[in-house]
Amino acid sequence: MEWPGLLPSSSAKTLPLLNKEIISCTACPRLVQWREEVAVTKRKAYEAEKYWGKPVPSFGSDKPKLMIIGLAPGAHGANRTGRIFTGDSSGDWLYGSLHRAGLATIPTSTSIKDGQQLIDTRIACAVRCAPPDNKPSIEERDTCAPYLTKEIEIASKTSTAYVALGSFAWNAMIKSLRELGHTIPTTKFSHGAKITFLDGSRTITLIGSYHPSQQNTFTGKLTKPMLDKIFKQAAKAAEIG
């Protein structure tokens, strides 16, 4: 099938410049339509708010030691607030855990004005626009992939640890690292899955975690101690704190 959108590419040399490119992307027609439609129709609880309604940039350190990779923005979370994992239940879980691991300055993430700062840590997503039902298509995943690859390429100058939230992010992270020339053994995603490889003289650690979606947290598939264990491990691998 011919892809109707304008395929993204990036010549950014820094993570802030990459964020600027991402924010203006319109490559995926279905996602552009959905992110903008949600921003107009809104959820009743947020009808007085102005939704972001654009691709959601990465958040955190511009020279991260630890990279966290999620799936995609939530329709009424990051697509509303403009900051990744901000303003929904997944974000409550994620930032709470990051705070307990010494990776975030406050335990909550409610808006871009809440003062939250990540410590040597950056959060990106495999797909930057909110998808219907939280499910990007294969074409959308592949269309957005150059941004993740570029982000990892720049971040890898300082990052020695990566956490992927869910199998979608796990596979996207490994694909990007392979495209950058790293030899990554094929390892099936699981909560706590771990891969290490050498980048020159540095040991790089990849860790898999269940995504803190309501589907996992409401059912008890993912608990706070399980998530905390992942981020304590990641902080240690990245030598933060």
Binding residues vs ligand SF4 (CB under 6 A): 8, 22, 25-28, 31-32, 55, 127-129, 140, 143-144
Closest separation in Å from C-beta 19 to ligand SF4: 11
- Which CB atom, from 24 or from 186, has the smaller least distance to ligand SF4? 24
Closest separation in Å from C-beta 128 to ligand SF4: 4
- 64 phi and psi angles, rounded to 5 deg: -75, 145
Closest separation in Å from C-beta 169 to ligand SF4: 14
- Which CB atom, from 25 or from 174, has the smaller least distance to ligand SF4? 25
DSSP annotation of 189:
-
- Which CB atom, from 94 or from 144, has the smaller least distance to ligand SF4? 144
Closest separation in Å from C-beta 210 to ligand SF4: 23
- Which CB atom, from 40 or from 45, has the smaller least distance to ligand SF4? 40
What are the respective helix, strand and coil percentages of the chain, to the nearest 5?
A: 40, 15, 50
Closest separation in Å from C-beta 51 to ligand SF4: 15
The amino acid at 197? F
Q: For residue 198, what are the β-bridge partners?
A: 203
DSSP annotation of 165:
E
| SS3 assignment for 90-126 | HHHHHHHHHHHCCCECCCCCCCCCCCCCECCEEEEEC
Question: Hey, how many other C-beta atoms are within 10 angstroms of the C-beta on 73?
Answer: 30
- Which CB atom, from 32 or from 112, has the smaller least distance to ligand SF4? 32
Q: For residue 196, what are the β-bridge partners?
A: 205
Question: Hey, how many other C-beta atoms are within 10 angstroms of the C-beta on 195?
Answer: 18
